[in-house]
Amino acid sequence: MIQQKSAELLFSLPPAKRTLADLERGIARAVHAQKMFGSLAADPANAVPYDRGLAEERKKYADSMLRRAEEHLSAQRQYEAEQAARLEGARQKRAAERERIEALEVRSFQIFFVHRRLI
């Protein structure tokens, strides 16, 4: 049940507040919980120390929640790809600015020495 709750919590967070790895891990745990509740509900024993109906309800809940898993994974992949592209764009912009400044410094240095020679 805790695994299902953790996946539910991750699903409720916006993409900026979670990671793809966290989401995948939460979904894997929810799948495991779904299988466990399914096996508990399908236990052939006549007398079990738990409520089969509750186990079946938890399995159905996991089924419905996991139907949305691919949608959340897709949104997270898209968000992280956009963030990576934005970060790469900023890196390229900083590198271009750094090169421009270095070129100006070299040019200033050259002008300074040409000017000194003339004096």
Domain residue extents for the chain: 2-91
Query: 3-state SS of the chain: helix, strand, coil percent to 5?
Result: 85, 0, 15
Q: What is the pLDDT of residues 9-26, one digit of tens each?
A: 999 999 999 999 999 999
**Interval 58-111: pLDDT, tens:** 999 999 999 999 999 999 999 999 999 999 999 999 999 999 999 998 888 887
Between CA 79 and CA 70 the distance in angstroms is 14
Structure tokens at 118: 């003339």
Task: Please give the model's pTM, rounded to 2 decimal places.
Answer: 0.75
